[in-house]
A and B are shown apart, each in its own frame.
Chain A
Amino acid sequence: MSPSIPERNQPMWRTTRTLCAITASTFLLAAVISVAMGKSPVEHLSIAIFSGLLGLAMRKERPGVGIAIPNFIFLLLVTIGQVVMWNSNEHIVHTEKIFEIFTGYRITALVIGLLAPPVQWLGWVVIATTGVVPILHFYSWSPLLRAQIGLQEPWMTLMYVTVSGILYSFRSNQLRIERKSASLQQRVEMLQRFTHIVVNTQHHINTPLQTIENSVSAIRKKDPELSSTLTLIDRSINRIRNVMNMFSLADTNRVWKEEIAPVSSEEFEKLIHELNP
């Protein structure tokens, strides 16, 4: 049996958890360095907390759920993260300290692109907010303050959001393909099981069929008057023989390209009808 989607996604979630832990540790270290250098650690700290919480939320395995983070926890974390980043940006922009504005929003946008749940409306809404919030924040400031920040914002952050959207779109497509392939795999396995049974029980049909065929021939030989009746039995045997031949398409030694292989019950019916007009 092939593994289910959640099972197959486990390595991906493990990697993401590790990445979250690495991000949290890195930003925690950056926060400590910021303090040592006399800078505000708020932004670094907020990203460290955000990454840590994301990692913790994904800690618990939930087989059969499909995604490890429940949607509402994800939404809650993103909201908290954005509030924290709004506050930290708001706090730092009014100080004289040198800092790269909206770094948190950018990283969050990329993380969301990689981690957003496959529920389409939720994913796109969350990505959209990572674009809208920095713009709102940016234009909430006075023109003087905006001029100090530089020309690259909010467009640089929007570019990150676009990249995040592309990542999310790619992930969604991958997931769709994966689900389709898993569903096809299930059908294939079911068909394999069925054909395996058919192929392995063929002799339980073929042996009695041989007995009937032999007996019909013996009766015909002994009593030629019954010939017309026996012809009917012969035709019926032929029909069963043809059906059994069709089933033997499941035989792995047969080359499907060289065979007229029906792929649906309708085609099967049509072919049988052609063989037994």
Chain B
Amino acid sequence: MSARTKKVLILEDDCDLAASYQMILSLMLPHQLSVLHDMKEMLANSEDALDCDVALIDVDLGHNQPTGLQAYQWLCENGFKGSIFFVTGHARTHPVVVEAVELNGVSLLQKPVELDRLIEAINSGNKNVAVHS
């Protein structure tokens, strides 16, 4: 029986950044990537999203869009079993970031995250890996 390839969900509204994540992570890691841009897209690909082992969720998914926190809640409510990391370019005083930090078992990665740290977080799949720059 062959080992299942690790699946990584990337939920990022910035198309350029999402593409760059896809580019570098597919070069550096053997994992399967699922790059989505907003909640709507995630709902449309719910099966694929829920099947992931690690989720990198941007806290701010764009103006007038559900936040990363709502995406996190949806994942939790629908039986997501993997590790979840919030990624943000906002200051820690941003209201949504404050809420995200208060969540138990979720780590916050501050953009720009160094590649080594990002890979370490994905590979560890450990909710306790806290990376704050």
* Chain A contacts for B112, CB-based, 8 A: 206, 209-210, 212-213, 237, 241
B residues 53-101 near A (Cβ < 8 Å) are 60, 88-94
Interface residues of A in 221-277 (CB under 8 A from B): 221-222, 237, 241, 245, 248, 250-254
- A200 within 8 A of partner (CB): yes
Tell me the complex Cα distance, A222–B112, Å: 21
> Using an 8 Å CB-CB cutoff, how does the interface string of A138-173 with B read, 1 for contact, 0 for none?
000000000000000000000000000000000000
10 contacts between A and B (CB under 8 A): A207-B17, A209-B89, A210-B89, A210-B113, A211-B14, A214-B21, A245-B133, A248-B92, A251-B92, A253-B92
Interface residue? B41 (CB, 8 A): no
Choose among B14, B28, B88, B133 the residue that contacts A221 (Cβ–Cβ < 8 A): B28
Residues of B close to A245: CB separation below 8 A: 133
**A217 close to B24 (CB less than 8 A):** yes
Q: Contacts A207-B17, A211-B16, A241-B133 given: A217-B115 contact, CB under 8 Å?
A: yes
Q: Which of A199, A214, A221, A253 contacts B17 (CB 8 A)?
A: A214
Residue of B nearest to A203 (CB): B89
Contact across chains for B60 and A203 when beta carbons are under 8 A apart? yes
Whether the pair B89, A252 counts as a contact (CB closer than 8 A) is no
Q: Does the CB pair B93–A251 fall under 8 Å?
A: yes
**A208 & B90 in contact (Cβ 8 Å cutoff):** no
- Interface of B with A (CB < 8 Å)? 14, 16-17, 20-21, 23-24, 27-28, 60, 88-94, 110-115, 133
At the interface, is chain A mostly helix, strand, loop or mixed?
helix
**Known pairs A209-B111, A237-B112; A215 contacts B23 (CB<8 A):** yes
A18 at the interface (CB under 8 A from B): no
Q: Are B111 and A248 interface neighbours, CB within 8 A?
A: no
- What's the Cα separation between A193 and B60 when bound, in Å? 22
Knowing A213-B115, A214-B24, A221-B24, say if A202 contacts B133 (CB, 8 Å).
no
Closest to A245 in B: B133
The minimal Cβ–Cβ distance linking B47 to chain A, given in whole angstroms, is 27
1/0 per residue A177-215: CB within 8 Å of B? 000000000000000000000011011111111111111
Q: Tell me which residues across on chain A come within 8 A of B28, comparing CB atoms.
A: 217, 221
Q: What's the nearest-Cβ distance from chain B to residue A160, in Å?
A: 57
B93 touches A207 (CB 8 A): no
B83 to chain A minimum Cβ distance, whole angstroms, is: 20
- Minimum C-beta distance from A39 to chain B (A): 73
CA distance A10 to B17 in the complex (A): 56
